[in-house]
Amino acid sequence: MARAASRTSPIRRSTAMKRLLPIALLAAVGCVRASTFEKLQADYATSLKRVEQSDASLASCSRRVRSDPEIEKLKKGWTLVPVVVASQDISENTVLTFDMISQRPVPEQFVTTSVVKPDSASYIVGQEILMPVQTGDMLLWSMFETSKSVEKLSSFAKKDLRIFTVETTPASSCGQWVRPNDHVDVIAVLPSSEGKGMVATTVLENALVVATGKITGQTNLNLVPEGERAFKHVSLLVKPEEAERLALAQALGKLTLALRSSEDEGLRKSATPTTVKALFTKTGTAPR
């Protein structure tokens, strides 16, 4: 483009030369006055300069259009992305099937996380839609998740019990295999009370899991996309004094959850914290 801006188009230059050449020949044989030819030469030079300026202006304008951030921003907002829409009119409380839905491209600036995407369509098929929609309407998660949106974690608390939330990572939650209604032990790794390294101790046994992130035992997992099932917190049903122990342990060290069998409700009579020294002097035998 820079090269085009610095010189006149070959086509325009060639056309001008063809027009000027016959006059130059006539001037050479004396059929045209020299002054006339000089004037034509001057006019040609002026026209050529204007053409070059025009080419340069067009090139500059083209560069500005391509690099204008506002134009790029507008173009980005209008990039089309596919969403799930109704392929026919659907009445309230209808169980959705695949032949009732299709996909349609929509500018991405109008697509939020509340819109169902094609890769999540399988989660809404087989579910009742809670409101009527017309052909072409975008399908939203709220059309299926009303019951989930009004869930209250406090409704799972029982008399004289509390719900305590533990911060977790995949490693501290059995690879995120912990699920609502599971039972877990909570192990804390803390500084030794004697100031001699770290100790590991079980601070709570057989605690009921009431929620993992925003998912409870009453949440319809079919409506939760796979990518939204990950969690960073696990909520447990505990006694008030157990909540205090967990709060202190979480503030002082790191908590890890150990899954229990649904058939195992026994509690250890006594438990001695595991020290760093014991870790290197004792060996255990894995169950078979």
pTM for this model (two decimals): 0.52
Burial track 252-264 (b if 16+ CB lie within 10 A, e otherwise) = ebebbbebbeeee
Give the type of residue at 41. Answer: Q
Model pLDDT, residue 146: 46
Backbone angles phi, psi at 111, to 5 degrees: -105, 120
Across the chain, mean pLDDT equals: 80
Model pLDDT, residue 258: 96
What digits encode the pLDDT tens for the residues 201-236? 999 999 999 999 988 887 777 667 667 788 999 999
Model pLDDT, residue 139: 92
Model pLDDT, residue 28: 56
Dig out the tokens for 39 from the structure.
């004037």
Q: Which fold has domain 77-144?
A: Type Iii Antifreeze Protein Isoform Hplc 12 (3.90.1210)
Domain map of the chain by residue range?
A: 2-67, 77-144, 152-281
Residue 198 Cα distances to 49, 55, 84, 127, 249, angstroms: 84, 76, 53, 51, 13
Alpha-carbon gap, residue 105 to 51, rounded angstroms: 44
Model pLDDT, residue 78: 80
Alpha-carbon gap, residue 234 to 202, rounded angstroms: 17
Residues of the chain with pLDDT under 50: 1-8, 146-149
- Sequential DSSP letters for 19-46: HHHHHHHHHHTTSS-HHHHHHHHHHHHH
